[in-house]
C-alpha cells in the first residue's frame, strides 16, 4: 500500500521512475488542492500503457488498490476521500 506524504506546492505534478519497478508520483488533490507524493510499484511501461496508450487504469495497473488508482487519477488520498465522503453518524 502506498504512503501519501504532503509536500510543498512548488513541486510540479509528475512521475519519477526508479529501477526496480517503483515510481514517485506527485499529484495535486482535486478534493483539497494539497500536493502529495506517493511511492508506488509502477513501471514506465505500465504507466505508458495507461497514460499514453489509453488502456483503462484497472487493466494497465491491476495490481494497485482502488485507492492507489484513485490517487493516480485525481490526486486524492484515502484520508481526504474518507473525510470528504464519510457518512453522518
Q: What is the pLDDT, as a whole number, of residue 68?
A: 97
Q: What is the pLDDT, as a whole number, of residue 82?
A: 87
Can you tell me the distance from the alpha carbon of 59 to that of 62, in angstroms, rounded to the nearest whole number? 5
In three state form, how does the secondary structure of the chain look?
CCCEEEECCCCCCEEEEECCCEEEEEEECCCCCCEEEEEECCCHHHHHHHHCCCCCHHHHCCCCCHHHHHHHHHCCCHHHHHHHHCCCC
Per-residue pLDDT of 11-36, as tens digits, reads 889 999 999 999 999 999 999 999 99
Asked whether the predicted pLDDT for residue 89 surpasses 80, the reply is no
Q: Taking the model in full, what pTM does it have? A: 0.90
Q: What is the pLDDT, as a whole number, of residue 88?
A: 52
CA neighbor of 71 nearest in space, from 63, 62, 80: 80
Amino acid at each position: 500500500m502506498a504512503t501519501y506524504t504532503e509536500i510543498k506546492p512548488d513541486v510540479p505534478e509528475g512521475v519519477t521512475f526508479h529501477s526496480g519497478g517503483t515510481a514517485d508520483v506527485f499529484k495535486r488533490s482535486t478534493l483539497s488542492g494539497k500536493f502529495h507524493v506517493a511511492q508506488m510499484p509502477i513501471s514506465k511501461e505500465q504507466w505508458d500503457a495507461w497514460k499514453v496508450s489509453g488502456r483503462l487504469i484497472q487493466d494497465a495497473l491491476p495490481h494497485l488498490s482502488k485507492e492507489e488508482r484513485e490517487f493516480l487519477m485525481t490526486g486524492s488520498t484515502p484520508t481526504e476521500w474518507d473525510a470528504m465522503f464519510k457518512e453522518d453518524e
